[in-house]
Amino acid sequence: MLVLSRKLNQRIMIGDSIEIKVLKISNGRVKLGIEADSFIDIRRAEIDLDSSEVEVQQSSKKTRSVTLQAAS
């Protein structure tokens, strides 16, 4: 694993088509912007649930909404 430190507005490039930028740092939280080609799947790891967790969530009728904005 590569571990990097970045300051506000600094960027990390992954290959030629993925750019990660530190947008905001406040209250112990970091807001990142990710720019990538539209065919690249970007998701939060905690959203990747195994099938048993999905069944539990569906039975309890709780839903989550995640919005990612792609930069143009």
Spell out the per-residue pLDDT of the chain, length 72, in tens.
Answer: 999 999 999 999 999 999 999 999 999 999 999 999 999 998 888 777 654 565 566 665 555 555 555 554
Interatomic CA distance for residues 19 and 71, integer angstroms: 11
Is the backbone of residue 39 left (phi > 0), alpha (psi -120 to 50) or beta? Answer: alpha
Q: What is the pLDDT of residue 72?
A: 45
Q: What is the pLDDT of residue 1?
A: 93
Separation of CA 72 from chain center = 17
Neighbours of 43 (CB within 10 A): 9
Q: What is the pLDDT of residue 46?
A: 79
Length of the chain counted residue by residue = 72
Q: What is the dihedral of CA 36, 40, 41, 44, to 10 degrees?
A: -30
Q: What is the pLDDT of residue 58?
A: 61
